[in-house]
Structure formats: C-alpha cells, structure tokens
Amino acid sequence: MKYVASFAALALLGGCSDNGAVTEAVKAGLKDPDSAEFGAIDIREGPGGKWACVTVNARNSFGGYTGDQQVKLKHTAGEGWQWVGEPAEISHASCVDYTDFKAKGRGE
C-alpha cells in the first residue's frame, strides 16, 4: 500500500510540472501576462502527441478583461508547449473534445 501511495504522489507531481509549463506558455502569448486568471487545465496525451486546453481570463490591449477564453496548445520535443491558433470563446468541454481528438492522432 505504501508503494501505491508513493506512485500516486509521483504521478500527481508529474502533472503539476506540466500544468506549470502550460500556464507559462499561455502567459507568454498574452498582452498582459500578469493579469492572467486561470480556470480549468486539461492535458491529453496519445499517439498524436501531448495537447492541452486551458481556460484563461486576462486583460486585452485596452486594459479590460476578455472573459473566459480557451487556449489550445501542443507540446513538441524541441519547442515545448506552443499555442495552436488564437484564444476562442467556446466551452471548455468543446476545447477538451478537440484536444482529445488531436491527441488520439486524428484529423491530421
């Protein structure tokens, strides 16, 4: 039982490092990175690679908050997490469906 708990803790820590890298990649593409307020973060991995969907609300060029938007990212070995397209005003569930589809290697 002790080993199962240790393994579970390591698995959670691995996910935390991905979440940190994902949020940093999202911040890097924002007009005002310090204003970023993060919601749900979902990471999918499969034959199509590692994909993430992130809910973020941040200030735009005019200083107003955009409202929750979804940012899609893909992880590549050489470049790390990179944005795919622009932030979208879609549901988080729709964003996750897209990233899950891509992670499974579909739609290429």
Q: What is the pLDDT of residues 77-92, one digit of tens each?
A: 999 999 999 999 999 9
Q: What is the pLDDT of residues 21-46, one digit of tens each?
A: 999 999 999 999 999 999 999 999 99
Model pTM above 0.85:
no
**Residue ranges of the domains in the chain?**
2-103
CA dihedral 4, 46, 95, 106 (to 10 degrees): -160
Residue pair 50/77 in contact by the 8 Å Cβ criterion:
no
Reported as type and span, the H/E element at residue 92 is helix 92-103
| Closest of 43, 42, 46, 48 to residue 107, by C-alpha | 48
